[in-house]
Amino acid sequence: MNMNLKWGQPSDAIIQMAYVVDDIHAAMSRYGSALHVGPWFLAEHFPFETLTYRGAPDITLCLGFSGSMTIELIQQNCASPSPYIDAAGKPRTGFHHWGVAATPDAYQRRLDELTGQGYPVILDAVVGGGSRAAYVDAHSALGGYIELMEITGPVEALFTQMRDSTTRGYPAGTVLPFGGPLGA
């Protein structure tokens, strides 16, 4: 069932656009001033509970809002294999993925739908609070990955808190610690 999430986006819809960057601090400034995104919530060395890929990349990420759309910037801090770097260990800068929301009861069904459409799962993760996420590879058809994001109560509360911060008058370029129920 499709319903609106507390921060304004519908469930089972695109809630995020993500970009890989080589310098997250410079990128926050550029994206913030050009697109009026912010404040930014920064998680240095993001602590996944679990992550299944060909290694365990160390990444720094930040989230900011433009209206009710989340913008995510990702910087890889190591040379471990990951969806964020190429075979030569260089960042794949630019657009990376769309984040699509799924309620806990719809998560597995949506993941099965995506894999049934020929988009293989390339990364499985669990973040704070036990919320699941998966990247499926849709490059051949859509030009990027799709991140299926399980929107549990704690995740919804955190995204709502971050989105609400956009109305609190923070100056452009403000960077705040990533926190709340997903902690870091």
Rounded Cα distance, 14 and 11, in Å: 8
pLDDT in tens, 21-44: 999 999 999 999 999 898 999 999
- 128 secondary structure, DSSP code: G
Rounded Cα distance, 76 and 57, in Å: 7
- pLDDT at position 38 is 87
- pLDDT at position 93 is 92
Ordered by start, the domain boundaries in the chain are 14-167
Contact 115, 51 (CB under 8 A): no
pTM of the model: 0.91
- pLDDT at position 182 is 46
Can you say whether the dihedral through the CA atoms of 142, 163, 149, 179 is positive or negative?
A: positive
Q: Which residues of the chain have pLDDT under 70?
A: 1-2, 54-56, 87-88, 180-184
What are 20's two structure tokens? 């890989």
Thinking of the domain 14-167, which architecture would CATH place it in? Roll (3.10)
- pLDDT at position 127 is 86
